[in-house]
Chains A and B, each alone.
Chain A
Amino acid sequence: MGVGIQVEKLNAWFGKTQALRDINITMAANHCTAVIGPSGCGKSTFVRCLNRMHETIPEAHATGRVRIGDLDVYNGTSATSIRRRIGMVFQKPNPFPTMSIYDNVAAGLKLNGFRDRKQLDEIVERSLKLSALWEEVKDTLKKKSGASLSGGQQQRLCIARALAVQPEVLLMDEPCSALDPISTGKIEELIFQLKEHFTIVIVTHNMQQASRVAEFTGFFLLGELIEFDKTEKIFTTPSDKRTEDYITGRFG
Chain B
Amino acid sequence: MPDTTTLPAATLPPISLRRTVTNAMATGCAVGAVVLVLAPLGAIFGYLVYKGIGSINWAFLTETPKPVGEAGGGMANAIAGTGLILLIASIAGVPIGIGAGIYLAEYGRNRFGDLVRFTADVLNGVPSIVIGIVAYAIVVLTQKHFSALAGGVALAIMMIPTITRATEEMLLLVPNMVREAAYGLGVSRWRTTLSITLRTATSGVITGVMLAFARVAGETAPLLFTAFGNQFWNWRLNQPTAALSLQIFNYAISPFDEWHRQAWAGALILIVLIVGAVSAVRIAASRGTLKGAN
Chain B residue at smallest Cβ distance from A149 = B292
Question: Are A98 and B186 in contact (CB-based, < 8 A)?
Answer: no
Of B178, B195, B202, B294, which is within 8 A of A111 by CB?
Answer: B195
Q: How far is the CB of A100 from chain B (nearest CB, A)?
A: 9
Q: How far is the CB of B290 from chain A (nearest CB, A)?
A: 5
Question: How many angstroms between the C-alpha atoms of A191 and B257 in the bound complex?
Answer: 82
The segment from A61-69, A85-93, A181-189 that touches chain B is: A85-93
B39 at the interface (CB under 8 A from A): no
Question: How many angstroms between the C-alpha atoms of A203 and B186 in the bound complex?
Answer: 21
Of B109, B186, B191, B289, which is within 8 A of A81 by CB?
Answer: B186
Q: How far is the CB of A105 from chain B (nearest CB, A)?
A: 11
B291 at the interface (CB under 8 A from A): yes
Question: Are B186 and A83 in contact (CB-based, < 8 A)?
Answer: yes
A-B contact count (CB 8 A): 88
Question: Are A111 and B183 in contact (CB-based, < 8 A)?
Answer: no
Question: How many angstroms between the C-alpha atoms of A162 and B189 in the bound complex?
Answer: 18
12 extra A-B contacts, CB within 8 A, seeds A58-B109, A97-B293, A112-B186: A83-B183, A87-B185, A90-B184, A92-B177, A94-B178, A94-B180, A95-B181, A111-B185, A144-B292, A148-B293, A165-B185, A165-B186
A145 at the interface (CB under 8 A from B): yes
B187 at the interface (CB under 8 A from A): yes
B199 at the interface (CB under 8 A from A): yes
Nearest 9 CB-CB pairs, A to B? A84-B186, A148-B292, A83-B186, A108-B185, A88-B184, A97-B293, A94-B177, A147-B293, A94-B181
Q: How far is the CB of A57 from chain B (nearest CB, A)?
A: 10
Chain A residue at smallest Cβ distance from B201 = A98
B200 at the interface (CB under 8 A from A): yes
Query: A112-B186, A112-B187 are known contacts. Are A90 and B289 too (CB-CB below 8 A)?
Result: no
B188 at the interface (CB under 8 A from A): yes
Query: A56-B180, A111-B182 are known contacts. Are A98 and B195 too (CB-CB below 8 A)?
Result: no
A44 at the interface (CB under 8 A from B): no
Chain A residue at smallest Cβ distance from B194 = A111
Between A and B, 10 residue pairs with Cβ closer than 8 Å are A80-B186, A80-B187, A94-B177, A94-B180, A94-B181, A97-B178, A97-B290, A108-B185, A111-B185, A147-B293
Question: Are A162 and B184 in contact (CB-based, < 8 A)?
Answer: yes
Q: How far is the CB of B216 from chain A (nearest CB, A)?
A: 29
B residues contacting A by CB (< 8 A) are 109, 175, 177-178, 180-189, 191-192, 195-196, 199-200, 202, 289-294
Of B186, B196, B294, which is within 8 A of A96 by CB?
Answer: B196
Question: Are B195 and A145 in contact (CB-based, < 8 A)?
Answer: no
* A95 proximity list for chain B (CB < 8 A): 181
Of B177, B185, B292, which is within 8 A of A147 by CB?
Answer: B292
Query: A90-B180, A147-B293 are known contacts. Are A96 and B200 too (CB-CB below 8 A)?
Result: yes
Question: Are A83 and B289 in contact (CB-based, < 8 A)?
Answer: no
How many interface residues does chain A have, given as a range?
Answer: 20 to 34
Question: Are A82 and B186 in contact (CB-based, < 8 A)?
Answer: yes
Q: How far is the CB of B291 from chain A (nearest CB, A)?
A: 6
* B175 proximity list for chain A (CB < 8 A): 94
Chain B residue at smallest Cβ distance from A171 = B184
Question: Are B185 and A84 in contact (CB-based, < 8 A)?
Answer: yes
Q: How far is the CB of A250 from chain B (nearest CB, A)?
A: 34
Question: How many angstroms between the C-alpha atoms of A165 and B185 in the bound complex?
Answer: 8
A158 at the interface (CB under 8 A from B): yes
Question: Are A53 and B183 in contact (CB-based, < 8 A)?
Answer: yes
* A56 proximity list for chain B (CB < 8 A): 180, 183
* B294 proximity list for chain A (CB < 8 A): 97, 147
Question: How many angstroms between the C-alpha atoms of A148 and B180 in the bound complex?
Answer: 20
Question: How many angstroms between the C-alpha atoms of A46 and B181 in the bound complex?
Answer: 18
* B189 proximity list for chain A (CB < 8 A): 80
Chain A residue at smallest Cβ distance from B199 = A98
A133 at the interface (CB under 8 A from B): no
* A98 proximity list for chain B (CB < 8 A): 199-200, 202, 289-290, 293
A51 at the interface (CB under 8 A from B): yes
Question: How many angstroms between the C-alpha atoms of A87 and B109 in the bound complex?
Answer: 29
Question: How many angstroms between the C-alpha atoms of A96 and B183 in the bound complex?
Answer: 12
Of B181, B196, B292, which is within 8 A of A158 by CB?
Answer: B181
* B291 proximity list for chain A (CB < 8 A): 144-145, 148
Q: How far is the CB of B170 from chain A (nearest CB, A)?
A: 13
Question: How many angstroms between the C-alpha atoms of A162 and B186 in the bound complex?
Answer: 10
Question: How many angstroms between the C-alpha atoms of A53 and B116 in the bound complex?
Answer: 29
Q: How far is the CB of A161 from chain B (nearest CB, A)?
A: 7
Question: How many angstroms between the C-alpha atoms of A98 and B175 in the bound complex?
Answer: 13
* B187 proximity list for chain A (CB < 8 A): 80, 107-108, 111-112
Question: Please, what's the 1-or-0 string for A134-160, where 1 marks a CB less than 8 Å from any CB in chain B?
Answer: 000000000011111000000000100
Question: How many angstroms between the C-alpha atoms of A148 and B177 in the bound complex?
Answer: 17
Q: How far is the CB of B205 from chain A (nearest CB, A)?
A: 12
Question: How many angstroms between the C-alpha atoms of A56 and B179 in the bound complex?
Answer: 10
